[in-house]
Amino acid sequence: MAKKKFYITTAIDYVNAAPHIGHAYQKIVADALARWHRLLGEDVFFLTGTDEHGKKVQLSAEKAGKSPREFVDEVSEKFKEAWKLLNVRPDRFIRTTDEDHKKIVREIIEKVKKKGEVYLGTYEGLYCVDCEAYYTDKDAPDFKCPVHKKPLENLKEESYFFKLSKYKDFLLELYEKHPEFVLPNKSRNEVRNRVEEGLKDLSISRTSFDWGIPFPGDERHVVYVWFDALLNYYTATQASKKLNKFWPADVHVLGVDNTWFHTVYWPAMLKAAGLPLPKTVFNHGFLTFNGQKISKSLGNVISPKVLVEKYGADTIRYFVLRQFPFATGDSADFSERALVDRHNNELANKLGNLVSRVSTLAEKYGLEKCKITNLRIEETRKKVEKYFESFEIDRALNEIFAFVDRCNEFVQDKKPWETHDKKVLYELANAIKDAAILLSSFIPSTCEKIASIFGFSISLEDLEKELKIGKIKKSEILFRKI
């Protein structure tokens, strides 16, 4: 029987600047979701990457005194390095400068042109270079970008247009019949309200700069970065016959600033090209720092590399997955004080201390197999599965740590350091196995260490059977107090 497939993508990041913790939050969430579905035995494809075309990138390259190609190659590597440090493991890191992507973009535009969905005209409007997006007077009444707080440019140029306006009814019907297409609910309501007001045709080419994919049939133009970038999700599934099965995506994980592009432009583009639509576009809130969105332009960037060197990858992963309620779509403030508190009180005191105590006693007194009666994982596992399905990742993690709390209470109650009870130690060791397997999507490196100490594998098979008794050695300190 064929495995169930799960295709998850993140936003691809602009390479005008190095990665920051705001980028990392999204990638960690997507990696945890991908690892969870792999644990369930599904066939998973996880995609992330970099968005490398557009005026913003060209200007950043000029400022750095480099060619656009040199510039994007250097910055793209920084994103790859950051995700590797955080143990984020995509199946493909796509770049919009990849040749297979350029080919797909040209093919899709030709296809949409043949259907009569593209025409040549002139565009004039307010434009933010940092967003690579146009704004209306209603969106920006003070003529400043609502995201970057910079004055908007008035841009006028010849452009090819995609007939977005004709897809209003299609989109409204999509939101009505498939509410899961836009999550959380508040994002869907906001998008639907804006679409009901009407849509303008979308400018999909530029002539004011040349760093982009040449527009098919008219190379005076380059493809507008959003029409180019959105297609990366489809490109990745066309790289081989083996990957074709993954389209359409099961979930696009995106920040709220990308909502409009992915819930209006993207489904209309796919409909015009005759391609199936993704199941869910999930729009999460920003990480903020002192109440402001983290971004280079605001000067409040926190580097993932610096954080990993200071605290370790699993602490960063645990903190952002536990601290911020992803499913609500709300923004949340990043605090190093809160990170240190969670590291010390939860990772070190609760999980680290439990593993240290039980492994030390098991090495000294051994284990004796017994019926598991006190520390059963089934109810915890059911709740965790339910929370993952609804993207309540912080609640899933909280549920596992409630089980860890029960284990610590059991240790205190049974006092195996006094009784030397091998059956109590076996039940605790088995519970640590279960907790570590469920935690492996969140803090993978730590869970692999725990698996090697107690002699099990991070797998659904080992979750569903009891721990084999083997020689256990005292654990190293998993989380040193900060």
Paired strand residues for 335: none
For residue 170, what are the CA distances in angstroms to 14, 185, 347? 30, 19, 48
Alpha carbon dihedral 390, 395, 396, 399, in 10-degree steps, equals -140
b/e burial code for range 274-302 (CB count within 10 A of at least 16 → b): ebeebebbbbbbbbbbeeebbbeeeebbe
Scanning 197-248, the segments in alpha helix (DSSP H) are 225-230, 232-235, 241-244
What are φ and ψ of residue 231, in 5° steps? -75, -5
Q: Catalytic residue numbers?
A: 20, 23, 128, 131, 145, 148, 293, 296
Contacts 24+ apart (CB under 8 A), 125-130: 125/154, 125/155, 126/152, 126/153, 126/154, 126/155, 127/152, 127/153, 127/154, 127/155, 128/152, 128/153, 129/55, 129/56, 129/59, 129/153, 130/16, 130/56, 130/297
Which pair of structure tokens corresponds to residue 421? 């009870």
Expressed in percent and rounded to 5, the helix, strand and coil fractions of the chain are 50, 15, 35
- Rg value, the chain, Cα: 25
DSSP state letters, 342-385: HIIIIIIIIIIHHHHHHHHHHHHH--------SS--HHHHHHHH
The type of residue at 354 is: L
Q: Which of 47, 44, 10 is nearest to 27 (CA)?
A: 10
Which is it for the CA torsion 229, 233, 238, 240, positive or negative? Answer: positive
